Amino acid sequence: MENKEIIKAVEAYQNAKVVHPLTCGNDSRHSNLVAEERTGQVVLVCLDCNYVQIFIPDCVLHCQDVIKKMEEDIERMQKAQRFSPYTTLLHYFEVMDKFMDRILKRQKDDK
Ligand SMILES: [Zn+2]
């Protein structure tokens, strides 16, 4: 993945309404981490305290399509008023949990 793509993926993840954003390791109340290129490598930075995180979870880079689809689905369902927003979100958190489990398991199997 190119650095530009990684930065875009992190931005999309941080703006997604269906996942918990990546937050500062010093204080999770600080603003969400931002992807920046530093000496050729993309790192996550807290603009409030300069906390730097080098590790970017795989699921942040590889679940953009799923997140996008989930957001579209939620919007469609809410428009159709088939579910209350609360029910819809609960359903999607369940889906997301399973998805994350699968990714984590795959990462473990790869090792
Ligand atoms: Zn911070």
Q: What's the mean per-residue pLDDT of the chain?
A: 85
d(CA 21, CA 31): 10
Q: Which of 58, 83, 67 is nearest to 20 (CA)?
A: 67
Cα 73 to averaged position of ligand 1 atoms, centre (Å):
33
Q: Which strands sit side by side in the sheet containing 41-45, from one edge to the other?
A: 34-38, 41-45, 52-53
For 5-51, write each residue's pLDDT tens digit.
Answer: 999 999 989 988 778 899 999 999 999 999 999 999 999 999 999 99
Cα 41 to averaged position of ligand 1 atoms, centre (Å):
20
* pLDDT computed for residue 63 by the predictor: 81
pLDDT of residue 96 exceeding 80, the answer is no
Cα 36 to averaged position of ligand 1 atoms, centre (Å):
15
Cα 33 to averaged position of ligand 1 atoms, centre (Å):
8
* pLDDT computed for residue 93 by the predictor: 75
* pLDDT computed for residue 97 by the predictor: 76
pLDDT of residue 52 exceeding 70, the answer is yes
Cα 5 to averaged position of ligand 1 atoms, centre (Å):
24
